[in-house]
Structures are given as C-alpha cells and as structure tokens.
Amino acid sequence: MEQQIARLEKHLLAVSQTFQQIGEEKAASRPAPGKWSAKEILGHLCDSAINNLPRFVRAQTEQPYVLIPYQQDEWVKAQAYQQRTVEEIVQLYSSMNRAIITVISVMPASAYDHSCTTADGTAVSLQWLVQDYVEHMEHHLDQLQRQIS
C-alpha cells in the first residue's frame, strides 16, 4: 500500500498545479462533441473516489464484498462538473483522495487479501482493487495531460 499512497500523494500535488496553470476556459473546453472536458475528466475522478472510498472501508469488514457499479457518464452529467469552478472540483478531488489515503494507510495488512466481487462475478483482492483505483486515475490523468497540451 505504501507505493499506492505515494502515487496518490504525487497526483494530489500535480493536479492542483495543472489546473492552476490552465484556467477555467481551457479546463471547460471539450476536444470534440460528446467528449469530456478537463473539468469533467477530473469530475469523473471525483466520482471514482466517491464510489471507491466506501468500497475500501466496507471491503475490510464485509466478506465477500460485492462491488456495485455506477453509470459514469450519468454521474458526470448529474454532478454538473462542466458548470462548476475548477477550484471547487480540485478541492473535491483533493478531499476525497486524502480520505482514501487515510483509509488505505491505516488498513491492516490482513485485509489486503479480502475478497471483492466485481459486477461480472470476478473475484479480486482488496489490494488489487486499490491498485486498480490508482491505475484508473493515472489513465485519466494521462488523458487529461494529452488533452490540455
């Protein structure tokens, strides 16, 4: 978990700096019709954190833990990230991920192998779920960097 924590902490700083540099107009620009803006990509990462934080908590005590999927596009639309300020979205992203860092930093090693069942019935460990969360975040942060460059 130490590696995942270090990666998350690095991204907290980088995201804040990136969005300070690009400003509202560039952050709201969509690369094509139907594609997410930088604000919406970051909002999607907020939604991911909103969904994964309780997963990381509950999977420690509910065995086996069954993951409930969520409708990503609908969440981004319902959360109105395009209409919110960059500052507000960055604060939400930072707050949610600081909470996740806290949860995984105090997670007992005995919980790492707890079973989590995905929507398609695949069994994965809680440790895998945390790693997948970070990799998902990194995928979208790379997407975001390409979009704003």
The CATH number of whichever domain residue 84 belongs to comes to: 1.20.120.450
Tens of pLDDT, residues 107-132 = 999 999 999 999 999 999 999 999 99
Q: What mean pLDDT comes out for the span 4-27?
A: 95
Give the pLDDT band of residue 6 (cuts 50, 70, 90). Answer: very high
Considering its fold, how many domains does the chain have in total?
A: 1
Please determine, for residue 21, whether its predicted confidence score (pLDDT) is greater than 90. Answer: yes
State mean pLDDT over 19-23.
93
All residues at 6 or more sequence positions from 57 whose CB lies less than 8 Å from its CB, including other chains: 103
Give yes or no for a contact between 115 and 64, defined as CB atoms under 8 angstroms apart. Answer: yes
Say what the pLDDT of residue 142 is.
96
List pLDDT tens digits, range 41-92.
Answer: 999 999 999 999 999 999 999 999 999 999 999 999 999 999 999 999 999 9
Full domain range(s) for residue 119: 2-148
What pLDDT sits at residue 34?
Answer: 93
Sign of dihedral through CA atoms 66, 69, 47, 21? positive
CA dist list (Å): 130 to 39, 56, 70, 120: 24, 7, 17, 18
pLDDT score, position 149: 85
